[in-house]
């Protein structure tokens, strides 16, 4: 059982809970996930199975979300799961007030993660420090937000704006909700969150736990192969003799044109589409060399 599972995470489970459940269902020990989702969030959670856990770092990093932001509320966690700090009617807000401010979040920005998050400061998780009541300065981080698109506006005492967000890795949607509320001087929290895309996996192709169990019982579950999950990376194909040397960890002379940057990761296959691992072309005195980054037995 090697490859990937595009899981549709249900509400109420942590990402770690999902990994544990997949271990039990598939009866394998080596399972990992990419891109943590909060328990209240739903949607795409990429799961790696078996040796494919070594490939998690090479998956695409872009993500997309559908989020509802509620205005007029502040909480300790920047979502509806935390303790309410302030609640005050924001009925005077209109979509016209919100639209110009959303554009402030697009592009490369500095973002302060929520105090209740898994980021480590001096070796400790922020949420552990927060639960212990310790004051800590949360460091800013650089994130990239490609687009924010408004899907709906619900007026009322505590109006909600529903948005679609395309962003890079490490972006906290809770921070966007909090900071939008700060701009508006009303407070804001994340009311709901669904991840619609992660690491190249789409919500439309994801499996719920119920569907996964049905497929397992009927013998119809097949993991997503590395070739599909890593299709954003260029591929190199080796003849049998060179493939044998590759599996032994040897660096191979490479005479063909370079694939872009010398730091770029490349898929390596034996002719016949047997996945062998991840390589990198490097320059030497004798020309280019295909150097192993990660060697697999054929998957």
DSSP 133-194: T---PPPPEEEEEEEEEEEEEE-SSS-EEEEEEEE-TT--HHHHHHHHHHHHTS-EEEEEEE
Q: Can 38 be counted among the known catalytic residues?
A: yes
Catalytic member of 38, 78, 79, 179:
38
Q: What is the DSSP letter of 215?
A: H
Cα separation, 129 vs 40, in Å, equals: 21
- Find the angle CA(265)-CA(118)-CA(206) to the nearest 5 degrees: 60
Per 3-state DSSP, the chain is made up of helix, strand and coil in percentages (nearest 5) of 25, 35, 35
Task: Supply 232's token pair.
Answer: 């954003």
What three-state secondary structure class fits 241? helix
Cα separation, 63 vs 166, in Å, equals: 6
Which residues are catalytic, by number? 38
């Amino acid at each position: 059982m090697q490859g990937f599972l595009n899981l549709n995470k249900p509400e109420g489970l942590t990402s770690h809970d999902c990994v544990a459940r997949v271990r039990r269902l598939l009866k394998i020990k080596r399972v990992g996930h990419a891109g943590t989702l909060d328990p209240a969030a739903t949607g795409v959670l990429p799961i790696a199975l078996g040796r494919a856990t070594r490939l998690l770092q090479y998956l695409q990093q872009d993500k997309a979300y559908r989020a509802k932001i509620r205005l007029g509320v502040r909480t300790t966690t920047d979502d509806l799961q935390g303790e309410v700090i302030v609640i005050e009617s924001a009925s005077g807000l209109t979509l016209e007030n919100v639209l110009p401010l959303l554009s402030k979040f697009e592009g490369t920005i500095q973002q302060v993660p929520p105090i209740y998050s898994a980021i480590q400061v001096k070796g400790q998780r922020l949420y552990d420090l927060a639960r212990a009541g310790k004051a800590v300065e949360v460091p800013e981080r650089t994130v990239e937000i490609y687009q924010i698109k408004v899907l709906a506006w619900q007026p009322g005492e505590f109006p909600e704006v529903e948005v679609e967000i395309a962003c890079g890795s490490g972006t906290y949607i809770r921070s966007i909700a909090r900071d939008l509320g700060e701009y508006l001087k009303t407070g804001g929290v994340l009311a709901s969150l669904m991840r619609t895309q992660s690491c190249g996996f789409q919500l439309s192709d994801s499996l719920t736990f119920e569907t996964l169990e049905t497929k397992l019982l009927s013998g119809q579950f097949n993991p997503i192969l590395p070739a599909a999950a890593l299709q954003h990376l260029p591929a190199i194909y080796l003849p049998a003799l060179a493939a044998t040397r590759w599996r032994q960890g040897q660096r191979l002379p490479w005479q063909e044109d370079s694939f872009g940057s010398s730091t770029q990761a490349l898929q390596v296959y034996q002719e016949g589409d047997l996945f062998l691992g991840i390589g990198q072309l490097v320059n030497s005195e004798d020309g280019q060399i295909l150097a192993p980054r990660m060697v697999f037995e054929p998957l």
